[in-house]
Amino acid sequence: MRLEINDTLAELRQQLRGFVTARLHTVAAEIDRTGQVPDAAWDLMRDQGLLGMLMPAQYGGMDADLPTYCIAQEELGRSHRVFTLILDYTSGLCPTGILKLGTEAQRERWLPGLASGRLRASFGLTEPDAGSDAAAMKTRATKAPGGWVLNGRKHWISGANKADVIMLMAVTDPEKRARGGITAFLLEKGTPGFEVTRVDTTIGSEAIELAELTFTDCFLPDDAVLGEVGKGFAAAMGSLTHGRMGVSAACIGAADRLLEMSIEHAKNRTTFGKPLSERQAIQWMLADSAVELNACRAFMYEVLRQHAAGAELGQATAQVKLMCSEMVGRVADRAVQIHGGAGLVRGGLPVERFYRDIRHYRVGEGASEIQRMLIARELLA
């Protein structure tokens, strides 16, 4: 059974599948080997018209809608998490924030560079004492003549060590915090008082870097404020609502590839004189993965269809993200089991890398427990 949003996007999928398989899988293998993202990854995606795809044409984007973006995330997710992040850096949390809330001067300043991949963006919310409870952030922006003085620390900010601009949230009114006391700023690379003080990697790909950012009397001019003073928490949550759909699509893409690899392996691997695919224990794992994958896909596509028809995304995105990120974990676990040792050995089949890479989907951009909290809050309202 093949689920699609519409015929146009089914065609786009075919086209992207060909591109990803022919051009990106080899780059994915290089990323695994070297732990670095070669410029070729950006160049190939730019040539394919993927960079900045959600941005309007006047800023160099493709004017694509969210369903189109999600199909692209799915197909890229079939190859490597890094490609889905590149799409996010050029169309995701920070660029979308600038597009929705920025002044025309801010849009002109940043969006053409971000959409083309010439400039890099990041999204800085998390702090050592403020992860799920983002409103507990301590980074403080204090008003000064002509601007704001920033002090504090962010951590685990994806790609911020290489970013030209960071959409950064800071407390501007400690009394109000999430209710009007947090403001979004556009922080530019090289601003005095701003330093990248540490770079972490996770159990996922070495090429995915998380930066710690330290601010010491870092002066940001008034025109670095993104949107209205005090509306930064809502801005961040709005970007995340949108972002959850992209993350979910990447989970679906990864699960799709893992299932495909599992089927292939089950057919080709013989034990006790028969292919694994003839064993009921293996068939049931494949069947469970297919059912869960299709259920997630159908749900996500329905939310996208309703959104394209004008519905607000709302907390449906929390349900989609929860389902998809938990599903890909189970599909990856079965894929490793079906592959046996071949699913665990480093540098061999991509299965073990997928298994590691997909783990963070249940934590990043709002952990599963937080998605459940958002869903229950709406149910109980």
Contact 286, 266 (CB under 8 A): yes
Residue 370 backbone phi and psi in degrees, to 5: -75, -35
321 contributes a contact to ligand FAD by CB under 6 A = no
Single out the residue of 34, 132, 268, 270 in contact with ligand FAD (rule: CB under 6 A). Answer: 132
Single out the residue of 156, 194, 301, 355 in contact with ligand FAD (rule: CB under 6 A). Answer: 156
277 contributes a contact to ligand FAD by CB under 6 A = no
Give just the sign of the alpha carbon dihedral 149, 155, 160, 161: positive
Binding-residue pattern over the window 159 to 198 for ligand FAD, x denoting contact by CB under 6 A: ----------------------------------------
Whether 195 is a known active-site residue: answer: no
Single out the residue of 158, 248, 277, 325 in contact with ligand FAD (rule: CB under 6 A). Answer: 158
Using alpha carbons, select from 62, 38, 64 the residue that is nearest to residue 308.
64
Single out the residue of 48, 151, 202, 214 in contact with ligand FAD (rule: CB under 6 A). Answer: 202
Helix (H, G, I), strand (E, B) or coil at 73: helix
Binding-residue pattern over the window 210 to 249 for ligand FAD, x denoting contact by CB under 6 A: x---------------------------------------
Any alpha helices (H) in 269-315, and if so which ranges?
280-308
Q: How far is the CB of 377 from ligand FAD (least distance, A)?
A: 11
369 contributes a contact to ligand FAD by CB under 6 A = yes
Distance, CA of 338 to CA of 351 (rounded, Å): 10
Contact 343, 355 (CB under 8 A): yes
Q: How many residues does the chain have?
A: 381
Q: How far is the CB of 170 from ligand FAD (least distance, A)?
A: 12
Helix (H, G, I), strand (E, B) or coil at 150: strand
Inter-CA distances, 172 with 14, 144, 185, 203, 271, Å: 48, 11, 11, 35, 64
DSSP 180: T
DSSP 137: -
* Window of 61-69, 108-116, 156-164, 328-336 that interacts with ligand FAD by CB under 6 A: 156-164
**Per annotation, catalytic residue among 104, 206, 365, 369:** 365
91 contributes a contact to ligand FAD by CB under 6 A = no
* Window of 12-20, 277-285, 296-304, 364-372 that interacts with ligand FAD by CB under 6 A: 364-372
Inter-CA distances, 248 with 23, 166, 238, 295, 351, Å: 23, 23, 16, 13, 19
77 contributes a contact to ligand FAD by CB under 6 A = no
Q: How far is the CB of 156 from ligand FAD (least distance, A)?
A: 4
Q: Is 133 exposed, middle or buried (0-12, 13-18, 19+ CB in 10 A)?
A: exposed
Single out the residue of 68, 126, 248, 319 in contact with ligand FAD (rule: CB under 6 A). Answer: 126
Give just the sign of the alpha carbon dihedral 300, 303, 309, 312: negative
Q: How far is the CB of 136 from ligand FAD (least distance, A)?
A: 9
Q: How far is the CB of 375 from ligand FAD (least distance, A)?
A: 13
DSSP 85: H
Cα three-residue angle 53-57-61, rounded to 5 degrees: 25
* Window of 56-64, 104-112, 126-134, 344-352 that interacts with ligand FAD by CB under 6 A: 126-134
Which residues are identified as catalytic?
365
Residue numbers at the binding site for ligand FAD (CB under 6 A) = 122-126, 131-132, 156-158, 202, 210, 360, 363-367, 369-370
